[in-house]
Amino acid sequence: MEKSDIYVVIGCLLHDIGKVLYRYDDGRNHAISGEEYLRKNLGIENKEILEQVKYHHAKLLKSSNLPSNSLAYISYIADNMDYIQENLFNN
Of 73, 53, 55, nearest in space to 63 by CA: 55
The amino acid occupying position 72 is: A
Give the three-state DSSP class for 88.
Answer: helix
Q: Tell me: the pLDDT tens digits for 21-36? A: 766 666 678 999 999 9
Please give the model's pTM, rounded to 2 decimal places.
0.86
Q: What is the pLDDT of residue 44?
A: 97
Q: Mean of the pLDDT values across residues 69-73?
A: 95
